Structure 1
């Protein structure tokens, strides 16, 4: 299923222009998202006649992570966007690294989520995106993929499922490439135009296997032909001297860049979605 066309911000007609708006526009802080563990500021950005809502995450507001000692979360967020753009899937909102009111940070287009679609008919609970749910029994049902049994209290369990959605499947491939250590339900944003975006990519690109996600429904299944073609193109763009590789080298370490290449090669060689390694908790907590 081809991705739908992007809907640009007011006064912006293309992704490149949106990146320019985010990079060069005047940032005005209008509030703080307090649920986030690091500083996340809601802003408006204005450049000429164009304007947009955006998120600004200053490096100064990041909490240090012992297992990510190099670089910063903002750089990893930008790296995730660049890899997403290289796939052609456009799964990460336009993201830039720039100076702001509180110093250097990541600035990303704000995505207004569409109302959630209905989950499975037998769902005990669905998340806000409508793409994740808890269902009774041990069968996911048509159009849904099982992830794991979850303890829902009082000695009861329910099956955690996600939609068998091609947009989610693309995101699962992207997460495998960037080694996303924190793919939660709250990081899935269905947009009104039908696109699906993933956000919060600060915990990515580790050289060791850190993949933690709720999107394990395709684990061990063959990659789609589309995914294999995209990965083949991505492997070429990650070669030394290519613009993507050069830019990533400015954002992540040489060891991490080598690991990205190795993960892409592994996916192409095996031809299947990765499975939990058993070396690391496979599902993030809290899951939402």
Structure 2
């Protein structure tokens, strides 16, 4: 099923889950499933709350709620793309269920020799490999990648790795894995720093204005089930700050600005 199919959210919300296997490279319990409803089947990811690994700075048992809140925000603002995501019961209890995205093999974030960075790509990090050779971490300058960078600033995404940015078979770029988002304290760690300090495009500004209005309405009510009051206020302040400054955020010197590992 296409992630933008109108029936996709109902499928992941109400469909019957059948666990097919586990994704072993994930830090939390992440299960690959088939979800079926009214004769329609699709692949999905299921992350049970009981399988969340405790973190020192995020309250235990809240990551699934942060995934849902991130989806609601992105969907309401039409900013960036997160696959249809629901909080529901499953074979291992309550958890996050998200439609699986069939990704292409195209890398949108990659490591290059400094002389081989593709034209137009945005350089993020200069380093050296194990042999001491210079390397550059860079990402695509696609418009939908830029929107995802703006969404990360809204969500205060603390873990935007390169592998969390994928191009689907429909040519849409999707952001994955938003459990470590929406903390009340600044924690933005991302590989999408290529537009740091640059003016926000008019289209993104308009979407942020829409988001600010939605936060005062139904979206704000929905988020009340997933975020604390302090986290909600911090979200409001981040959106207001982006609109006031009119630019993409830039890394702060005394804070690690990229996740580790990067991919």
Helix, strand or coil: the match of 2:114?
coil
Aligned length: 263
Task: Please tell me the root mean square deviation across aligned C-alpha atoms, in Å.
Answer: 1.6
- What 5-or-longer segments of structure 2 have no aligned partner? none
Select which of 187, 200, 204 maps to 1:227.
Answer: 204
Look up the match of 1:132. Answer: 109
The one of 196, 199, 223 aligned to 2:173: 196
Distance 2:153 2:115 in 1: 26
Q: Structure 2 CA distance, aligned partners of 1:43 and 1:70?
A: 24
Alpha-carbon distance in 1 for matches of 2:141, 2:115: 16
Structure 1's 270 and 55: CA in aligned 2 closer, same or farther, altered over 3 A? same
Contact 1:71 1:251 in 2 (8 A): no
Q: Which residue is equivalent to 1:64?
A: 54
Question: Does the aligned pair in 2 maintain the 1:28–1:43 contact within 8 Å?
Answer: yes
- Distance in 2 separating the partners of 1:23 and 1:162: 33
Are 1:186 and 2:163 an aligned pair?
yes
**CA 1:207–1:279 in 2, change beyond 3 Å: closer, same or farther?**
farther
Conserved in 1, the CA contact under 8 Å of 2:108 and 2:167?
Answer: no
Aligned to 2:141: 164
2:188 matches 1:246:
no
Q: Is the 8 A contact 1:33 1:40 kept in 2?
A: yes
Give 1:114 shift: 1.3
2:232 is the alignment partner of 1:271 = no
Aligned to 2:189: 212
Q: Is the 8 A contact 1:92 1:197 kept in 2?
A: yes
Alpha-carbon distance, 1:57 to partner: 0.2
Asked if the contact 1:139/1:146 (under 8 Å) is kept, the reply is no
What's the TM-score, normalizing by structure 1? 0.87
Partner of 2:233: 258
What corresponds to 1:33 in structure 2?
Answer: 23
Q: Does 1:8 align with 2:2?
A: yes
Q: TM-score, length-normalised on structure 2?
A: 0.95
Aligned-partner Cα distance in 2 for 1:202–1:232: 25
